[in-house]
Amino acid sequence: MGSETNAKSMSIIVTKGTLDWAYPPFILATTAAAMGLEVTMFFTFYGLALLKKDLNLKISTLGNPAMEMPMMGMHMALPNIMSALPGVDGMATAMMKNLIKKKGVASIPELRDLAIEADVNMIACQMTMDLFEYKREDMIDGPSIGGAASYIEVASKSDINLYI
């Protein structure tokens, strides 16, 4: 547990499981841990997918009208209607993964490993596991299983509480 000069704490509710939305919680959790905060991540609904052993994260272009990708020297946005076409999300995902590599941005598995290494406390939502029929053995070892009360107990004592 980080506990240098400030034993502050942060909790994050992680609700989204797409490649782009996986970044904010893991970036903030690892950075806060590096800065000496005690960090708890509560993975619920689609965020629970981020705890799977095999991460195969994708981007959804649907409902993401502000998403622009640098392409051919300009920025291209994708009209929402295109999102319905087969292969469009796959293409956007491939492009994003290329950019991530090219720009020296950490991969999500890398950030997740760093979070575990930094003793970030991870809680997997039991109700979501039941709802989506996730098996414990399909998920990484570290996280504990808990529910809303487990989160609230942590959040009520945390200096920062985020919902992402």
Partner 1 sequence: MADQLLDAKGLNCPLPILKAKKALKEVPSGGTLEVLATDPGAVKDFEAFCRATGNELVESRTEGDTYIFLIRNTN
Q: Please give the residue ranges that form the binding site for partner 1 (CB under 8 A).
A: 4-6, 27, 30-31, 34-36, 103-106, 114, 118
Closest CA to 28 of 46, 10, 7, 16: 10
CB of 110 to partner 1, least distance (A): 8
Q: Which is nearer to partner 1, 105 or 162 (CB)?
A: 105
79: its two tokens: 């009209």
Q: Which is nearer to partner 1, 35 or 55 (CB)?
A: 35
Whether 68 contacts 75, CB under 8 Å: yes
CB of 124 to partner 1, least distance (A): 23
Q: How far is the C-alpha of 101 from the C-alpha of 107, rounded, in Å? A: 8
CB of 30 to partner 1, least distance (A): 6
Torsion of CA 78, 80, 83, 85, to 10 degrees: -100
Q: Which is nearer to partner 1, 88 or 100 (CB)?
A: 100
Question: b/e string for 101-133 if b means 16 or more Cβ within 10 A?
Answer: eeeeeebbbebbebbeebebbbbbbbebbeeee
CB of 4 to partner 1, least distance (A): 5
Q: Which is nearer to partner 1, 142 or 147 (CB)?
A: 142
